[in-house]
Amino acid sequence: MIKLEKISVKFGGGLLSRKRAVYALRDITTDEITSSALLIGESGAGKTTLGKVILGLIKPSEGTYYYKGINVWKNKRKMLKIIRREIQYIAQDPFASFNPNKTVGESIGYVVKKYYGRKNYKERVIELLKSVGLSEREFYKYPHQLSGGQLQRANIARALVPNPKILVADEPTSMLDASLRLSIINLLANLIEKNDLKVIMITHDLGIAKYFYHKVKNVKGLILYKGRLVEEGDFLDILEKPLHPYTKFLKENIIDIASVNRDNQYIVSEEKLNENGCPFYPYCSFRVDICKNNFPPSKSINNRKVACYHYA
């Protein structure tokens, strides 16, 4: 379905910009993604940027994005039209995703009318609301009259309007109370099972990621670190037997990557990072000289891929 080849995304550094270009993503190559997936990484790792590349919202500065085997940006008129329909986005904050002056039914109805016309649009909206565990009552409510969890359900209902093949869910539970988080994951797992749908979930919360894996099964994990893809493979396999030193660090130290504490004993060196080197170099206890200036090529090991000279 989705294949990324040497994708880099650079921000800034234009002719009129005083700032140096920053790579949000660097040289990302994946195997074909055919299942649901988890994009894991701490803040600034490039998760959202990668999600936007997949949604066709960001044109990579370098590299090729294939959807269904077709080079998206080489065939952009046709492919972006397909992607806009088949790949939908679930944002983190459901309150920011709805117009506060319109009822939930009107907001979802707007999208229904766009795709299917006015006829029977209300019935379609109510059916969608029911498919995400809401009821007809919610059609008439304004966003502020719903809880965060209910509104996130409505957000998911709206994303389902064009009958997408993929949902890119960007931290879909992080704005919700802990008690509601699992119910949203349950809903996504349910939709995956009942529909011909895959979810690409972006998260820094390993607890949520594990729960998603156990509900959905067959979930690919993509571990990002400072714009680089460091490990790829079955998510549980990665978590149980991490190969990359960063993934090992994650497993041993933390549940929520947002709580990474850089002042712990893991830090080996404070040396300045070379842009072309491995970004984990300063913290890595397996590092060798070459890591400093050269990011390693990805190596296949038992259905996994890891970018680390330790395995070269």
Ligand X SMILES: Nc1ncnc2c1ncn2[C@@H]1O[C@H](COP(=O)(O)OP(=O)(O)OP(=O)(O)O)[C@@H](O)[C@H]1O
Q: Which is nearer to ligand X, 47 or 158 (CB)?
A: 47
Q: Which is nearer to ligand X, 17 or 303 (CB)?
A: 17
Q: Are 64 and 5 in contact (CB under 8 A)?
A: yes
* Piece in contact with ligand X (CB under 6 A), picked from 43-51, 97-105, 145-153, 261-269: 43-51
* Piece in contact with ligand X (CB under 6 A), picked from 45-53, 106-114, 213-221, 276-284: 45-53
For residue 42, the Cα-to-chain-centroid distance in whole angstroms is 12
CB of 174 to ligand X, least distance (A): 9
Q: Are 276 and 294 in contact (CB under 8 A)?
A: yes
> Residue 76: left (phi > 0), alpha (psi -120 to 50), or beta?
alpha
Which one of residues 34, 43, 253, 276 is an interface residue with ligand X (CB under 6 A)? 43
CB of 228 to ligand X, least distance (A): 11
Q: Are 39 and 100 in contact (CB under 8 A)?
A: no
In this structure, what are the phi and psi dihedrals at residue 82, rounded to the nearest 5 degrees?
-65, -45
Give the sign of the dihedral formed by CA 254, CA 218, CA 68, CA 185.
Answer: negative
CB of 116 to ligand X, least distance (A): 33
Chain positions 1 to 20 lying near ligand X, rule: CB under 6 A, are 11-12
| β-sheet bridge partners, residue 205 | 256
CB of 145 to ligand X, least distance (A): 29
Site string for ligand X, 201-230 (x = CB under 6 A): ---x--------------------------
Which one of residues 47, 158, 198, 228 is an interface residue with ligand X (CB under 6 A)? 47
Cβ contacts of 114 within 8 Å, gap of 6 or more: none
Determine, following the binding rule CB under 6 A, whether residue 173 of this chain makes contact with ligand X.
no
Q: What is the 3-state secondary structure (H, E, C) of 183-235?
A: HHHHHHHHHHHHCCCEEEEEECEHHHHHHHHHHHCCEEEEEEECCEEEEEEEH
Q: Which is nearer to ligand X, 139 or 228 (CB)?
A: 228
Q: Which residues bind ligand X (CB under 6 A)?
A: 11-12, 22, 24, 41, 43-49, 204
